[in-house]
Structure 1
C-alpha cells in the first residue's frame, strides 16, 4: 500500500470512529428533569397551550394552563396538570400541531408539539382532532419527554 493510501485509510477510519461516537452521549435523568423544570418556569403564571393545523398557520383552540403548569418532571417526562381540560374552539381545523406560550399572543416556550386523538401517541391527546368553531374541545393529556 502506498503511503498516501495508508493516510487516506487512516483518516477515513478515524472519521468513522468519531462519527459513531459523536452521538453516544446523553443527559442524566436529573439533568433532563431540570431542563423540563425550566420549561415550567418559563411558562409562567398565565401560560396557554394553543392547538392548530400542521404548520400552526392558525389557532383553533386555546387552553389556559394551571399555575404552576406542571408538577416537577419525573423520569425525564413533564406532564401538565389539571386534565382533562375543556375549551371552546375559536376556528375550524384538523388539529395536528401545538405550542405552549407564556400567554395568549405571548412568547413561544415549546413549539412543534404533536396532537393526536386519545390513544394516538402524540404529546397532546384530544377527544377529537376534527375541530369546528364553537365546539367544546377536550384535551385529555399532555406529556413532553426530554431528549438525549
Structure 2
C-alpha cells in the first residue's frame, strides 16, 4: 500500500506543478489582455478567469490530498512542506504584481470576473478573508494539531 501512496504523492506533485504553471500563464495572459480589453474578445478574458478560478480550486484540493497522503505515510515533514509551498503560492497570488500591470493576480481576477447577483465581489472578499488566514497558519504550526481520517476496516489490502 505504501508503494502506491508514494506513487500517488509523486503524481499529485506533478499535477500541482502543472496547475501552477498553467495558472501563472493564464494570469500573465489576463494581465496582457485586460490592459487593452478593447483589442481582445470578452470571451477570451472570461475563459482565462474561469481557468484561473478552476486552477485555484484544484491546487487547494491537491494540496490537501497530498498532505493526507504524506501524513498516512508517516511523513509529517513532507506534509508541512506542502502546506508551506501552498501558503507561499497563495501569498504570491494575493500580493505580487503581475509584470508591469500594477495589479496582483487576485486584483486582475476581481476586475475581469463575470459577476452575477449571488457572487458580486467574491474575489475581493476572498482576498480580504484569506490574507489573515494565511498568517494564522504560522500560528497553528506552533500548536499541537490532530488529523482525523477514516478507513474502511473491511479494506485490509496491502
Whether TM-score is above 0.5 comes out as: no
Q: Name whichever structure is richer in helix by fraction.
A: 2
Q: Which structure shows the higher strand fraction? A: 1
TM-score (norm 1): 0.24
Q: Please give the TM-score of this superposition, normalised by the length of structure 2.
A: 0.23
The higher radius of gyration belongs to 1
